[in-house]
Amino acid sequence: MPVVPARMTEAWLLLDEGAIRTVAGRPSGRGALGLPSRRDVERIANPKAALAETLLQASELSGRRRSQFSRDFARHRALLLERLDASGPVRELASWRQLVEDTEVALRDQSS
């Protein structure tokens, strides 16, 4: 039974403005990122595109540097996943709770 929610992963990463700004190389950035609320984050139609755009905005880059930064999306996403606070706001999301439950069931099934 697969337990990795591919679509929701990027949505979860949109909950941590500090991590986004750090990964984007602007931890003290002040520009508005337009992040969704916790209530709305699971309703984003294309969370991967939203995360990519948010990272670009947070980077505050332009021109060639912006294009280079954009090409590194997979690495930036991986860094955000490493920083995901499993005891933070993500715990309130239905998709996260479902992942935890599915993982626990899969682990129980494996040990049986």
Please tell me the predicted confidence (pLDDT) of residue 1. Answer: 53
Q: What is the pLDDT of residues 38-88, one digit of tens each?
A: 999 999 999 999 999 999 999 999 999 999 999 999 999 999 999 999 999
Looking at the chain, the whole-number percentage of residues with pLDDT higher than 90 is 76
CB 24 within 8 A of CB 92: no
Please tell me the predicted confidence (pLDDT) of residue 109. Answer: 86
Give the domain ranges of the chain. 6-111
Smallest Cα–Cα separation from 42: which of 17, 68, 76, 15? 15
Tokens (6 digits) for 67: 């294009």
Confidence of residue 103 (pLDDT cuts 50, 70, 90): confident
Residue 29 has pLDDT above 90, yes or no: yes
